[in-house]
Structure 1
């Protein structure tokens, strides 16, 4: 089966999201809220951003700038206005190894251009950092409980994972993914595929398929791969617009929960074991 490329995704996304955003309804019934005073929003969105050493400084800068520009874009603000509540809650954290996650920006409300500018500025001010290993499972485990005390009541709960490699630290990613999905949380992916695998950085050729089969899931889940530096900001904007509008690319690939996996979800773990003689399950 031919996989849709970025061009196919980008060509369908913005118009479809705008046309349907105001009519979008929640994909899942919302769990009972422990906090009846929580502020209603269209989506509670966790941005989980890879800062492992495989991300070089230029890629890190592109990744962060993509989110900054996307959050203040006309397309994003339009999707925000057309939501049922006209507001979202968002938090941003960086991750690397199994025990290495750092919140860069705690939960913030975006309800218009001024709030979006403030959020973008807060993210931009944070110092850059890099760390060892790539634990997508650790990032998902860290992200899941963030919703419990967010102070917001979203129609949807979404974890947005960006990264440039397979899971090679912490628990097996597929098991953690399934646990997150069981809580009614959707996981979307932004696999960064700017460099060809070298065989020396625990990277893999088909990272987009790995994300589709092993990382994403839940109602409306999708992947937007980035293969060209010039498309980084556009791809990030596309993904955020879809998440705010509660939509998905029409040509998305169905994740592993609905079809036979095309790639091993333990590929990163096996590569680490073969290279270093043991897998880090911390």
Structure 2
């Protein structure tokens, strides 16, 4: 009886010791330098050519050697990324779930999944819902991230759902950074605004090191996305413009999209 009890005690102690030895390795496997939500606009205001360019840009970004090197240069040498498409309040979809990218093979496979996903489109533009949806995804990651970033790309202002400032501020309260890729390829129409970059600056992006990369020409699209992903992975920000306006411009109206939509249906 005594020997049996001692044997069980020794076995139990051995299990505890083994778990303690394994804990550092388990923690290392559950940590990443960056958790990145790539949130891509698929609203009808994006034509199919713009969507194809956008898709190509993100695929090329994760194939590019500088991005691979930036990941390897991190403290842990790995990041977690999920690819999301969004439009109106009821249209947010995870296209590629959280994936750990820590070598060239995983990055190439992730890029191939982006490139091979069929294009789709949906109604309205709810940046606020895209942000809210992205924030919830961090709870599903199952890993600790040194930085949490939402990468929002879109070609118009919020026109559905709650106010974009509210969603932005709630995300910032969780120490999540929001970066932006305002797409300004066409002349402003009935639901577009001429200064979408100013709108993104004042109403969408925020958090530590937040930045945006505007796209104004089609031939800039792919390189702009590659630059943005590289900056996010490397935890850098674009250099400031050498020429700045003497006077600060007026702050953007963060409800301009909602007002445009209301005026459209009231006229």
TM-score category (smaller protein) = 0.7 to 0.9
2: CA distance, partners of 1:218 / 1:203: 26
Q: Structure 1 residues 63 and 90 mapped into 2: Cα distance closer, same or farther (>3 Å)?
A: same
Q: How far 1:140 moved relative to its partner?
A: 0.5
Structure 1 residues 116 and 261: alpha-carbon distance in aligned structure 2, compared to 1, 3 A threshold = farther
CA distance change for structure 1 residues 38 and 153 in 2, over 3 Å: closer, same or farther? Answer: farther
Uncovered stretches (5+) of structure 2, i.e. residues with no partner: 1-25, 242-247
CA distance in 2, matches of 1:275, 1:263: 20
1:1-282 → structure 2 map (5 Å cutoff): 39-198=30-189, 200=190, 202-251=191-240, 262-277=251-266
The 1:150–1:260 alpha-carbon spacing in structure 2 relative to 1, beyond 3 Å, is farther
- SS of aligned partner of 1:170: coil
Following superposition, the deviation at residue 37 of structure 1 comes to 7.7
Q: Is the 8 A contact 1:213 1:261 kept in 2?
A: no
TM-score by length of 1: 0.80
Displacement after TM superposition at 1:38 (Å): 6.2
1 or 2 for the larger relative contact order (CA 8 Å, sep ≥6)?
Answer: 1
Alignment correspondent of 2:6: none
| In 2: Cα distance, 1:38 partner to 1:77 partner | 19
Deviations 1:94-137 (A, max 9, x none): 00001110110000011111000110111122111100000000
Normalised by the length of structure 2, the TM-score is 0.85
Q: CA deviation at 1:147?
A: 0.5
Q: Is the 8 A contact 1:161 1:190 kept in 2?
A: yes
Higher helix residue share: 2
How far apart in 2 are the matches of 1:85 and 1:37? 8
DSSP-derived class of the 1:140 partner: helix
